[in-house]
Amino acid sequence: MEKKTVLATATVGRPHGVEGFLRIYPLSGEYEHLLKLDEALLELKNKEKVKVTVKDVKMHQDALLMRFNEYADREKAKLLSGSLMYIRRDKCPPLKKGEYYIADLYDAPLVFEGERVGTVVDTSEGAQALLLHVRTEDGRIFLVPNMKPFIEKVDMEKGEIVLAMKELLS
């Protein structure tokens, strides 16, 4: 399993003021790392990707505002509204022991008693836990809650997810 070099970290909102600032909404709720950001990759609504360099970042009340060199006026900045912001992994907040990025779950093998029983192909938010969309060898998709008692552990060192209840895949 190959680690992604860039991670989705925020969404870009509407412009703020006339100087080209945009509201930035961190996906994790953490924003300190974004205050020091110098560049990002934005995926526009039409799926086009554009590289941007950060001209200015500031807090206004409780909103994080960012302005990019390539889109430094309000009219140009408007084109970026609704984008998804990706940043380099080394610019993301450091992980604590036992933590991992959701992006690292994609393509991870799901194993039960040492045997591969499926692969994580997607995720979605569930009521109590992240739901892993697992494709089994026969092509069927199952939703597996990423929590005990269903998942024994997420082992990032081995790059695998250990399933505790194989019945979830039948």
Of the listed ranges 38-42, 94-98, 127-131, 143-147, the one predicted with least confidence: 94-98
Q: With contact defined as beta carbons under 8 Å apart, do 168 and 156 qualify?
A: no
Q: Is the predicted pLDDT of residue 67 greater than 70, yes or no?
A: yes
More reliable by pLDDT, 4 or 70: 70
Mean pLDDT of 144-159: 93
Q: Please state, in angstroms and rounded to a whole number, the distance separating the CA atoms of residues 83 and 71.
A: 13
Mean pLDDT of 18-24: 94
Question: Bridge-partner residues for 110, per DSSP?
Answer: 118, 161
Residues 6+ apart with CB under 8 A from 95: 101
Q: With contact defined as beta carbons under 8 Å apart, do 129 and 146 qualify?
A: yes
- What percent of the chain is modeled with pLDDT above 70? 98
pTM (predicted TM-score): 0.78
Q: Is the predicted pLDDT of residue 169 greater than 80, yes or no?
A: yes
Mean pLDDT of 134-143: 96
Q: Is the predicted pLDDT of residue 2 greater than 70, yes or no?
A: no
